[in-house]
Structure 1
Amino acid sequence: MLNLVQIDGVIVDEAVTKDAWFDEFRAPHTDAARELVAEVICQIEEYEKKKRLRMRKRKDTPKAPDKTTFETTVAAIVSDLCYHYSRDPERRVSVSRSHQLVGSKSRYASEIASTKVRITLLDYMASPELALVVQRIGEKYQDRRTTIQAGPQLIALIEKHGVDDQDFKKTGYKELIVLREKRGENWFTDKSKELPYEDTPETHRYRAEMVRINDWIEAADLSFDAASCVTRVPVDIRNRNLRRSFTATFTQVGRLNGGFWQGMNKEERRGIRIDGQPIACLDYSQSCPRILYGLAGATPPREDIYDIPKLRGHRDGTKLLLLSLMCSDQERTKRPKGSRKLLPKSPKATELFQWVAEAHPALRPFFWTGIGLNLMFRESVILVDVLLTLIDMGIVALPIHDAVVVRHDTKEQVKEVMLVKFREHARVDGVVKEE
């Protein structure tokens, strides 16, 4: 049963939420926020002077931008803490103190706010004299991360300057094209390790596409009608930046991640407004197996691909079986993770897989080859093409993996574009359904 409360005018579920991750790209967005950050900087400098931790003023040199590093790091810490305190005073922010991670050079991390200076500044700000941060140091062998929250003095500054979450804004990702490691069956998890890579004409093109998509969505007239639905957490409609994430190589997955709408469920998305108008969510149905039929040079069945006679009534479980057959690079003898309650109890896993293979003989040569990740990539190529085409048409679309959220009165135009693009890329007909 939901325990509903109202936070900043938004109805939310009062369930305990997970810690937020420290966002090094958060920054002050208004004069009031900048004044608050400037006051914190002055307090830290006075603290350093009083404790004789630093006697000379910081300066910038070409090789050592000490002043900029210091001020930007303070701004990132303060901005993220103020942002989360304004949205939920009890929520903690997880932050790494690892010298192996913090300050290491990476195309993904901020060159300033991720330096080792952060660790020192957090300790200063958590001191009893400053009391700007409440810091709980993580335990290495307990797998617990350090968490931080706004301290009493920072809370006093928030009240003094009258700032809230609207005064702080995410400045965007440093890198829009992400290459991640493959971790077992977590084929496209956003928590897997980010990998270094060398740029190519292909990655430059992908990045340029993402810039165009992000710029279009950033300029869109988006709003959220909190009264029309129940949400789990307050919605920040300014969180619109997307990245495109690949797995292991640039021919696998390639899905677009980020944006406030991606973490929403069907009920919550009802509150999104584009140009003040209600929305429709259109998604490709059975897209990966249909793309695979195209690669096999065969025609997919007109009916539901996941409707298999021996598994009728177990559509969600059948979908997991087919996904495993396409994504696994070696034959498996166990049921897919999460399918226990979605499939009949008595048949062995090998028998279940056999039933799916018998229903789709044209796809059989591709099973257990790991082609599924490439199918997801092809699906992402189709979706990016759809988004760019809609931009040319002046239509705003918010992507969700294999779906788009669009203004309700444009859904027929969008559906036509989606079907045309699917046919162009997959060489078979696609199926688009409204959620």
Structure 2
Amino acid sequence: MSEQNTRDLKFRHELYPGSAALLALSEDITASVLNHEQATGRRQRHRRKDDLNSFRNAVAVIVANLAYSFVFPGSGSGALILPLGHPRSTASLTQPGFGKALKSTIDALEAIGILHLTMPDDAFHAATVAPSEVFRREVFSRGVGHSDDFLRRQVLDPICMTRRDAWKRRHPCIIPVSDDAARYREEVRRLNAWLADADLSYVGADEVDTGDRLMRRHFSLPSHVKDIRLAYGGRFFGGFWQPMRKQLRRHIRIDGEEIAELDYGQILPRLAYGLVGTMPPRGDLYGFGSSLAGNHYRPAVKKALNAMLFSSRPMRAWPLEIADGLPHGVTVGKFRAALIDRHPALAPLLECGVGYDLMFQESEVIGGVLRCCMDQGITALPIHDAVLCATSSVSAVQTIMLEQSRLVSGHSIPVGVEVLEEEEECSPLPVFVPAMTPSTTTIHLP
């Protein structure tokens, strides 16, 4: 971590030199490494043709990542997380040059002054690499500094699955071959092809890589589930717009237009009501209990309700982030009682881990929205339970979102609209609350 409390950046295997200048720099560095090995005797035998091609690929991807880390730093520290044989990483093992030979490649790049390697203190953390000042100067002297300098190849599986261990660390899971897996992969590939051709731009003063559009669907296997299925989690991750703060998103343009953000209101509890085949009550679903009333406590109440939906066992105490936001004395037991009093129909779903099922339904709703938007020629950018679209498409996208939520949950979930204008203040539009009809969808509880 840097002194500015910034975070290390994730190494991106899809990055590759996309311009003649950056590709030439990669080739020059490759030649320097080969000459260094020969001059110092670090390597006794020449690489075979396939090994040499893998080595060139690894150097090109590493060079692209190092350059990207300071051309488009975002909130990053400039250091890149690069697992070197780390047990929780599988992405590196599938890419040419990123297997057992990666450590020697990194050592060689450090030896010729291209990067700095920092090894972890224990087996539970990954190594990091950071560009050297010599490398930085070389990149800028060659005119590299634009989105077009980087190519983004879809080399990783469009879908992935992880499971948390007892220490809350994520471990990758092998996805079984299935018709669902093939369908989800094809849907993500279609979305990525659509976004690659979309007219997206950024008119703000910040350095933003509008070419960063690759999406990936992340599934989460709950710790209490033994059968590996693509039926938990499933949110869409990726794209330059997702990590941006809202005040910066207002500078995004789709087809040259200002944009709006459309998001589902209180989607997880509403999907929970769909799961039990009951209509949700009117009003704020996160508003209940006299001691919990008011907007001041609403964020913590939302987190507490979601925690009870995601927990697979009876909760004994609140996590610190929830406890700090609730009034003093509101224990898990008292909150549970207030929750059941407000939402008696949801009592069977509490503390049985159903939240992962609900998140999957949420991802299916957004997936349906994206498919319909593509079919109608509308560019929509997903942000978990929301989408961004051009202001001229708001009405059409809102209609699509209402219909897709009805198909999944049995009732239309309210959709809020906020136009992200260039003025200092954003202009919210009223939340559209549709007339609700009883659910006819039958979904088996876990």
**TM-score between both structures, scaled by the size of structure 2:** 0.84
Aligned 1:18-167 pairs, distance under 5 A: 18-54=7-43, 57-60=46-49, 65-87=50-72, 91-98=78-85, 106=90, 109-127=93-111, 130-140=112-122, 145-166=126-147, 167=149
The question of 1:335 aligning with 2:314 is answered: no
1:173 and 1:241 in contact (8 A); partners too? no
Q: Which of residues 192, 201, 216 in structure 2 aligns to 1:214?
A: 192
Q: Which of residues 268, 293, 301 in structure 2 aligns to 1:312?
A: 293
Identity over aligned pairs, percent: 30
Q: Which of residues 239, 261, 274 in structure 1 aligns to 2:254?
A: 274
Gap regions ≥5 residues in structure 1: 1-13
CA 351–380 in structure 1, closer or farther in 2 if over 3 Å, else same = same
Distance in 2 (alpha carbons) for counterparts of 1:407 and 1:257: 20
Query: What's the offset of the Cα at 1:289?
Result: 1.2
Query: What's the offset of the Cα at 1:91?
Result: 1.8
Aligned 1:149-298 pairs, distance under 5 A: 149-166=130-147, 167-183=149-165, 192-227=170-205, 234-248=207-221, 249-298=229-278
**Segment of structure 1 superposing worse, 177-186 or 408-417:** 177-186
Distance in 2 (alpha carbons) for counterparts of 1:100 and 1:183: 13
Runs of 4+ in 1 over 6 A off after TM superposition: none
Counterpart of 1:97, as a letter, is: L
RMSD across aligned positions (CA): 2.3
Question: Which deviations, in whole Å up to 9, do the C-alpha atoms of 1:238-257 show, x marking residues without a partner?
Answer: 11111111111411111111
CA 321–52 in structure 1, closer or farther in 2 if over 3 Å, else same = closer
Aligned to 1:80, the other structure's residue is in SS state helix
Counterpart of 1:146, as a letter, is: A
Query: What's the offset of the Cα at 1:56?
Result: 5.0
Distance in 2 (alpha carbons) for counterparts of 1:171 and 1:429: 38
Query: What's the offset of the Cα at 1:171?
Result: 1.9
Counterpart of 2:10, as a letter, is: W
Gap regions ≥5 residues in structure 2: 222-228, 419-446
CA 352–156 in structure 1, closer or farther in 2 if over 3 Å, else same = closer
CA 421–156 in structure 1, closer or farther in 2 if over 3 Å, else same = closer
The question of 1:392 aligning with 2:412 is answered: no
Question: Which deviations, in whole Å up to 9, do the C-alpha atoms of 1:164-185 show, x marking residues without a partner?
Answer: 2531233234111111103469
Distance in 1 (alpha carbons) for counterparts of 2:101 and 2:88: 13
Give the aligned partner of residue 422 of structure 2.
none
CA 109–243 in structure 1, closer or farther in 2 if over 3 Å, else same = farther
Distance in 2 (alpha carbons) for counterparts of 1:356 and 1:92: 44
Query: What's the offset of the Cα at 1:153?
Result: 4.0
CA 108–140 in structure 1, closer or farther in 2 if over 3 Å, else same = closer
CA 144–335 in structure 1, closer or farther in 2 if over 3 Å, else same = closer
1:277 and 1:408 in contact (8 A); partners too? yes
Distance in 1 (alpha carbons) for counterparts of 2:394 and 2:343: 32
Counterpart of 1:92, as a letter, is: A
CA 140–296 in structure 1, closer or farther in 2 if over 3 Å, else same = closer
Q: Which of residues 396, 405, 409 in structure 2 aligns to 1:422?
A: 405
CA 95–320 in structure 1, closer or farther in 2 if over 3 Å, else same = same
The number of residue pairs the alignment matches comes to 403
Give the aligned partner of residue 9 of structure 1.
none
**Segment of structure 1 superposing worse, 391-400 or 74-83:** 74-83
**TM-score between both structures, scaled by the size of structure 1:** 0.86
Counterpart of 1:236, as a letter, is: D
